[in-house]
Amino acid sequence: MSKDNVISAVIGVLLGFIAGSLSHEVMSARQPARFVPGSTAPGVAADPNAGMGAPTAPAPGAQAPGAAPAPGGGGPAMAQVQEMQSRVARDPNDADAVLALANMNFDIQNWSKARDLYARYLELRPGNPDIMSDLGVTYRELKEYDKALELFDQAQTIAPDHWQSRFNEVIVLAFDLKKFDEADRVLDELRRMQPGNADVERLASEVNRQRGAA
């Protein structure tokens, strides 16, 4: 390979990395941090099995489901992805590996794969509102907005205090469907549930900005 070709290849890799980092920045601005049940501190990963029996240690490389990727942070290491893929291939019923692999695909914005894996996890361990909300986010990114709203509603039916699904519901209603009146009703409820939450207030400001631009 010539020197010019090597330089072009390196530039291509760097541009891809920068684009990926910027995409993570956007995702971070649009996804609320998750709370540990009973905690008021944002940004702490919740146990995905909370309330569903004895907690288990997170699988290697797994990110808290629904939590935003760290701004500018890299995605999962290839070795971690390969490890989880190998575990799932050996045992498709390994729910922890399925969830870890789903989170990895979420982090790299491989929405179709993340959707399929979250759906599989819910087959193995049904009734988890956090994962329902995560699955709803993947449908939203795939522009299947009605399906996304359906998943958020299911999460709220199971856990009436599940504020993250309401946060994401506001995004779909206001940003994607331009249903601002409906978004306002959900936003009012969200503010009552999360008073003083800076992410919620930023969301409210952005909804107003979107309404003005519509």
Quote the tokens at residue 71.
């701004």
List of the chain residues with pLDDT < 50? 2-29, 33-73
pLDDT of 76: 75
* Predicted local distance difference test score (pLDDT) of residue 55: 28
What whole-number distance in Å separates Cα of residue 20 and Cα of residue 26? 10
DSSP labels for the chain? --HHHHHHHHHHHHHHHHHHHHHHHHHHHHSPPP--TT---TTPPPPTTTTSSS--PPPTTPPPTTPPPPTT-----HHHHHHHHHHHHH-TT-HHHHHHHHHHHHHTT-HHHHHHHHHHHHHHS---HHHHHHHHHHHHHTT-HHHHHHHHHHHHHH-TT-HHHHHHHHHIIIIIS--HHHHHHHHHHHHHHSTT-HHHHHHHHHHHHHHHH-
Q: Given its phi and psi angles, is residue 179 left (phi above 0), alpha (psi -120 to 50 degrees) or beta?
A: beta
**pTM (2 decimals)?**
0.68
Q: What is the pLDDT of residue 77?
A: 83
Residue 185 has a pLDDT of 98
Give the pLDDT confidence of 128-166 residue by residue, as tens digits.
999 999 999 999 999 999 999 999 999 999 999 999 999
Q: Token pair for residue 140?
A: 């939203």
